[in-house]
Amino acid sequence: MASEQDWQTELYKDMEIYVTALPHEGSTALWDYAVRIAWPGEDPSSDSEVVGKSGDDGDFPTREAAIQAGLVKGYALVEGLSK
């Protein structure tokens, strides 16, 4: 997975959050993100892992802003699993 995209990883409430920034389709100045969550040691590239994307709800001006937004989405996904 890391060889295809630059994934940032963070441990949150015993789950790993993986976020990557993606150039926004059709633009060289805007960014989107993809986020996956997995239990530590599991393969986060599996299609069965929880995945979120920024989609139409966010166009971010920098790669760093997209990663930060992806982490926030990842936190929310983990919180949703714990309810």
pLDDT at 6: 84
Q: Which residues of 46-57 are buried (b: 16+ CB within 10 A; e: fewer)?
A: eeeebebebeee
pLDDT mean over 41-51: 68
Give the integer Cα–Cα distance in Å for 81 and 70.
17
Per-residue pLDDT reduced to its tens digit, 4-39: 568 899 999 999 999 999 887 777 789 988 898 888
Structure tokens at 36: 């996956």
| pLDDT in the model for residue 83 | 67
* Alpha-helix runs per DSSP H in 1-83: 63-81
